[in-house]
Amino acid sequence: MHLPTAVNRFATRALVAPLMSSTLPLPVRRAGLDLVGAALPLPRGTRRTRGVLGGVPTEVVAPAGPFGPHRVLYLHGGGYLVGSPASHRPLLAGLAHATGTPVHAPEYRLAPEHPFPAALDDALAAWQALRTAGRPAHRIAVVGDSAGGGLAMSLLLRLRDSGSELPGAVGLISPWLDLSCSADALTRNARSDAMLDPSWLAGAVDGYAADWAGTPELCPLDADLAGLPPLHVVAGADEVLVDDADALVERAGAAGTSVSYERTAGMWHDYPTMAGLLAEADEALRTLGLALRADCTR
């Protein structure tokens, strides 16, 4: 049942945003976010299983079958420090129903215990496991939110630069792409973003990749964006990372890459994590899911 946008905004600001704050110990933040994700409703018919993908613990969230030939590899957000498939379960379920296929969400290693490139190595291992299992690259969509969106772009660039086949489509939800934390929206939207306090980002960068500036895989906005699979971007107009999404869409389009962009007015960072409760979240996932499904089944 959908709740009013104002109620969702209040709940995000009161219950979720504090768990992103660096004022709390990491174990508390991680456990709290998982509890919030586990408490939210899932669509009827959702199925969950646990397994291993390329040596990485993975949760698979699926609608009732039968399924098409495509699959989704999902990389969760959380600033590379927090978050898990459990914290993102409503979003995973919404995306699974929208795409009509299982969503594989690796529980990649988190910083600061496991700094870059651990998360990227795990994402690559999961991708390769899907390929080894017989799934063609063009039948796989890679999707990520927030830091997971940055990780999805890092994976895409690593695959492209190694000469590997690329996924059929890429979905990015409120992607965090600029680790310099210098975009204007970090100040402009600091008060309107119900989810993310920009002051938290610098610490996340230090924990994940303090020397990011010398690593091309961590600078997707400076990369050659030509020849990539279709990109489908979702962001909230009121979020602190909207400039990252804007810049990627502009640069990818200028490079000739196919791009769609849903920039939703009045929405905060990562608003599709409120799937099942927020109408705008469900609509964004429905639109994204249909686009990914079309790209990966043609």
Catalytic residue positions?
A: 146, 239, 269
Distances 184 to 132, 241, 243, 246 between C-alpha atoms, Å: 43, 9, 7, 12
Task: State both tokens at 237.
Answer: 């107009």
- C-alpha 116/C-alpha 287 separation (Å) is 32
Q: At what angle do helices 147-161 and 118-132 cross, to 10 degrees?
A: 60
Closest C-alpha among 146, 145, 104, 139 to residue 125 = 104
Closest C-alpha among 145, 195, 147 to residue 17 = 195
Evaluate the CA torsion angle 156, 296, 82, 197 in order and state its sign. positive
